[in-house]
Amino acid sequence: MRSYRDARIGVIGLGYVGLPLAVEFAQHYPTLGFDISAERIDALREGIDVTREVEAKQLASTQALRFTSDPSDLKTCNTYIVTVPTPIDDHKRPELSNLIHASESVGRALSSGDVVIYESTVYPGATEEVCIPTVEGVSNLKLNVDFYAGYSPERINPGDRKHRLANIVKVTSGSSPEAARYVDSLYGSVIGAGTHLASSMRVAEAAKVIENTQRDLNIALINELTMIFERLGLDTSEVLAAARTKWNFLDFKPGLVGGHCIGVDPYYLTHKAQSIGYHPEIILAGRRINDRMGSYVAERVLKLMTRRKMHVADSRILVMGLAFKENCPDIRNTRVVDVISELQSYHALVDVYDPWVDPAHAKSEYGIELVDHIAAGTYDAMVIAVAHDEFRALDAGKLRALGKPNCVLFDVKYVLPKDEVDARL
């Protein structure tokens, strides 16, 4: 194999994962960023990143980084890194079409001696069972004879300004010992936090998928405890504060579990488990709990309104936040839509406000028309669904001024103190 120092890198997929990766590699290697969206490429060439993960000055200062939507340009590369989304379908099954199409593009560009590395989250075995056969079929080249492969799971956390690509340990792996060393050395040359070389691509795939499965299950436990405590008349935050005084108590909070990872990755693992004849009970139970939290939040809001003798039908309710997490425009798999849908099922009139989210994206993805102006004294109930800094900057008085005199204020994200809201998770 050639030396990693001679890498000419092509990053396929320039979303939340691919763009920061391309920018980092371009500090050290000639790098080509490819995306099928010509609109995305045009914006990046103008220094605009709609994900807000990379600043304009970073894009402008990276001379070794080029952008293209023409797959034929990938032929100038010798190391391909695939970072496309791997969502689930309506039946909670892995949706691998993006990965397959990206593999086909790599296959058409691949030359003898090249390396293809996958970062997209998959189930253990997917790289060898789905991706590599696709590359081989298109390129007519054979793995570990004509080209090599690797898997290095992404660990990007959208909106997180503390944990960035270069200061998070990177798991690496390869299709052969030589490929593994190449992949590990390549990432090690740009990742300041270092790397962890796994023994196989399957181990690296499994490590990624259980990271978010573990987190999903821990949140599911707290969500279930929240539902129990609400019936017991206990405040969950007070219980957790008391429990947190024990040195080994795991500090998780209740909430809506969405996004491109935690609410999706467990289904990749359960799909693979079921395909080999094992029914994963705990993982799926956790998923069921977390998937119903949007409805649970809406039900609690509606109960509070009913107790105040409000007519739910035709009532005005403001949902603050649509993104799946704070200070981030990402609305992939946001579970705030479940809150909205449940409220609308009772014929409430729901306004949604989110200063971080592109209105056109909200409309195309979920059919939701974001409001850009909130009139005082308008709402019967308000739900703080996302803890954006813009919302944290408002005190209870300013928030309640948006509602009617007897309005309900429900806090999903613990933005306000307990005694300043009517209820919270």
* Catalytic positions: 261
For 250, the token pair is 């795991």
Look up residue 127 and give its DSSP letter.
Answer: I
Cα Rg of the chain, angstroms: 23
Angle at 149 between CA 147 and CA 154, to 5 degrees: 150
Written as one letter, the residue type at 170 is K
Tokens of 348: 């409430």
Report CA torsion sign: 106, 107, 113, 115.
positive
Residue 112 carries which side chain, given as an amino acid letter? Answer: S
E strand segments, 274-378: 316-320, 349-353
Report residue 86: phi and psi, to 5°.
-125, 85
| Beta bridge partner(s), residue 352 | 319, 370
- Calculate the alpha carbon distances from 344 to 3, 156, 279, 338, 347 in Å: 59, 34, 35, 10, 5
Q: Which contacts of 301-307 are long-range, i.e. CB under 8 A and separated by 24 or more positions?
A: 301/343, 301/381, 301/383, 301/408, 301/410, 302/343, 302/346, 302/348, 304/381, 304/408, 304/410, 304/422, 304/423, 305/380, 305/381, 305/408
For residue 8, give the nearest of 33, 41, 35 by alpha carbon: 33
Q: Which residues pair with 382 in a beta bridge?
A: 318, 409
Rounded CA separation 95/81 (Å): 19
Q: What is the DSSP string of 84-105?
A: ----B-TTS-B--HHHHHHHHH
Contact between residue 410 and residue 421 where contact means Cβ atoms under 8 Å apart:
yes
Cβ proximity of 20 and 164 under 8 Å: yes
Tell which residue, 293, 272, 294, has the closest CA to residue 283: 272
| C-alpha dist (Å) from residue 177 to 78, 166, 174, 201, 217 | 19, 24, 7, 11, 35
